Structure 1
Amino acid sequence: MIRTNKDSTLSQVITALRFPLIVLVLFVHSNFKGVSFAWDNALKASFSLPIGNINLSLGTFIDFISGSLAPLANPFFFFVSGLLFFHCRQFTRKVYINKIRHRLQSLLIPYILWNLLFLLIIAIGSSLRPGWTAIIDKPLSNFTIKDYLLIFWDTSLIGQKGGLATPIDIPLWFVRNLMVLSLASPFIYTTIHLLSRWHKRLALYMLLIFLYAIHYLPDQWEGWGQSLLFFSLGATFTILKWDVTKLFKPYGIYGIIGACLFYWAQLANLMYAALIVTIISLTTYIIEHRQQQGLTSKLIPNILTDSSFFIYAAHTLPQGIILWSLKLEWLPITGATSVLIVYFLSPVILTTVCLLSFILLRRISPISLYFLTGGRQ
């Protein structure tokens, strides 16, 4: 099992950021553009202010939050995963095997269970409404063995609909990619180690260059490229024994400046790298300042930290209800104000529903919760 000293600043920073990053994921999925005519019409009718080539409006505000800023969560999670995966005195074959064994519990088992749960829900929906399979363009009655296997890998390959290249529980594409990267970790470690022997910072420089170059990859490969590069970026700091909390702490303001410049240049991945520096720097400052004042370094309540993975894996279930409510116009969208209310309430509703489910499950069936969260409870 991957462990860090619970009293270390790094561990405290990671713990403090876990739930806020999940909230960013919820905001990514709260942009309901194209879901209903009422929503789209309200956006079109909202106030707009043309500035050069940019049209500032409610739509551009939501697109910025959900489409540019909030997606930071995924590269940040990959960065932290790479940072922690190689957190050991020496990355040996025995260490690698132990880490993979742990991931059978923490990643693979929850991955299988959540996707099976979503498949069950699809099956129930299909029985109530024949032919309905939500994001899959093929009735379950026509599924082949290959289709059932693709449920756990890439549902866009089922039928002719295409769409997101994710498992049936859409957010778990992150877990899928992370499992592949964990298996490939000896190659990542060897590459970083060899590059660092030639020059201490060579691996870091090359990864930053690749983060720029990934902008030109085809869309179907960009997601995998982002996963690999940010995982490797986090791995580089750990393999070279660099403490990111100490290293990033003085450079928070430079991270903000860099993020603004990269956003203007439409280099999203470099913007995320700069924001990672700023966020870790700021969180480190806050924690150390609280410690100096004799206050607790815990910034987020335990229940929110403990339930973060559950919220991440489960939130598309209640989100489906919000989507259908918008499509059927059960939620009154009459203008910009109602759009803003629904937009900001959506993450709150998703968090509340999933959190209450987490608490209930922990009371009535802690064993089930243990397997669904991979021991994160």
Structure 2
Amino acid sequence: MNENTSQTIAILRFPLIVTVVLLHTYIIDRPVGGVIYVPHGEYPLFDLFAHVYQSEFGNMSVPLFFFISGFLFFYGMKKFSWLKFGHKLKKRIHSLLIPFFIWNVVFMLFVALVNMISPSLLTFKKSFVDMTFGEIANCFWNLSQGLIPLWFIRDLMIINLFAPIIYILLKNKMSKLILFGFTILFLSQIFHYVPGIGMRCAYPYMLGAWFSINGKDFIFVLNKYIYPLTILLIILVGFDTYLWTNDVSLFALNRFAQIIGIMTIPLWMSRCIEAGVLKKNDFLSKGSFFVFVFHMFIIYIPTKLWVYMFPVNGWTATMALLFIPLLVAFFCLGVYKVLLMFMPKVVTIAMGERN
């Protein structure tokens, strides 16, 4: 793999994970102690900022993760091999399946403990001791009572199983036409939220896979279009935001902006690396997964406490939305560092790493 592309993917992990934390930082219409301190419409400028920052650009992070996952799964597989396919699936057992079960179980135990100590803190989560066996099993599928962000891992594991079919679809002369057809499905909201094979997962994954399957470095291929893509992205986000201010929502427009975003963001990251502005940090890169799984254990604390610590207005709400994801992410990294010191083998397994 081109060194710049490898560096770009590695460096992207942490800021994208911080963006995932941002998506779970609820400020607007969030009740705290039964009171909604920041209702929608109370602070119009903050509403606008939150929409652009969180809903427009923030929502590009997960599709970009799927894009990168598809690119990496098929990397080095210009010619399909069942042996390579089996080897890649075996690696995903360590990196995806085992952490998926470990962290979901840990979170369920955490919820049960919190419900024993202070039931009012997690009223929307049910303790597993009050669940039937079927409800407990369902916590590993729909995840509404489990660790919700793990839906990404669930869908990624499922779509990986379809790799042979994806390879056949994208390794032929009609691949661009087939990919265009899936683009229409992605924009149309058809089969969008079906676990594993839904377009919110399958399409960006296939888009990334297309580059690897056809032996193309996506940074090298797309770099020549960086300025047109950037201008188009700004126009799309601007128009979608304008419609939002008029209470109009166009699903296709929003998702088209996501497509352009997942192709544009890595290009600017690559430019920053070439300019020497950014350098790979192994700790941030490796610790990103821990932030991903652990932030939901603590995110509700700062999102509730800030209203008691500062006067509530549009300015402080903006600061909360900006800094809470960063504070939570770096706190998670601190916990990760401590756990590495005292139980490195356990952390290695839980993180999906192998010695």
- 1:120 and 2:98 equivalent? no
- 1:13 and 2:8 equivalent? yes
1:124–1:93 distance in 2 versus 1, CA, 3 Å: same
Contact 2:100 2:150 (C-alpha < 8 Å) held by counterparts? yes
State TM-score, norm by structure 2: 0.87
Q: Gapped runs of 5+ residues in structure 1?
A: 49-56, 157-166, 291-296
1:193-204 matches, within 5 Å, as 193=171, 196-197=172-173, 199=174, 201-204=176-179
**Where do 4+ consecutive residues of structure 1 move more than 4 Å?**
129-133, 216-223
What is residue 259 of structure 1 aligned with on the other side? 233
Residues of 1 paired with 2:93 and 2:124: CA distance?
Answer: 28
1:243–1:92 distance in 2 versus 1, CA, 3 Å: same
- 1:274 and 2:260 equivalent? yes
State TM-score, norm by structure 1: 0.82
Residues of 2 paired with 1:94 and 1:337: CA distance?
Answer: 56
- 1:63 and 2:54 equivalent? no
1:128–1:28 distance in 2 versus 1, CA, 3 Å: same
1:114-263 matches, within 5 Å, as 114-129=103-118, 134-136=123-125, 138=126, 140-156=128-144, 168-193=146-171, 196-197=172-173, 199=174, 201-214=176-189, 224-263=198-237
DSSP 3-state at the match of 2:315: helix
DSSP 3-state at the match of 1:307: helix
Residues of 2 paired with 1:352 and 1:311: CA distance?
Answer: 8
- 1:373 and 2:334 equivalent? no
User: Which structure carries more relative contact order (alpha carbon 8 Å, separation 6+)?
Assistant: 2
Deviations 1:68-111 (A, max 9, x none): 21010000000000001111242211111111111110001111
Amino acid at match of 2:332: C
Residues of 1 paired with 2:197 and 2:232: CA distance?
Answer: 22
Deviation of 1:340 (Å): 2.0
- 1:29 and 2:24 equivalent? yes
Deviations 1:147-202 (A, max 9, x none): 1111111144xxxxxxxxxx611111111110001112112112222xx33x3532
- 1:299 and 2:279 equivalent? yes
What is residue 245 of structure 2 aligned with on the other side? none
Which one is further off, 66-75 or 338-347?
A: 338-347
Contact 1:212 1:270 (C-alpha < 8 Å) held by counterparts? yes
Deviation of 1:245 (Å): 1.2
Alignment equivalent of 2:293, drawn from 287, 298, 313: 313
Deviation of 1:348 (Å): 2.0
Cα RMSD after superposing both structures: 2.6
1:102–1:221 distance in 2 versus 1, CA, 3 Å: closer
1:69–1:132 distance in 2 versus 1, CA, 3 Å: closer
Residues of 1 paired with 2:351 and 2:257: CA distance?
Answer: 31
Residues of 1 paired with 2:229 and 2:197: CA distance?
Answer: 23
DSSP 3-state at the match of 1:40: coil
Identity of aligned residues (%): 24
Q: Gapped runs of 5+ residues in structure 2?
A: 241-249
Deviation of 1:9 (Å): 2.2
Deviation of 1:119 (Å): 0.6
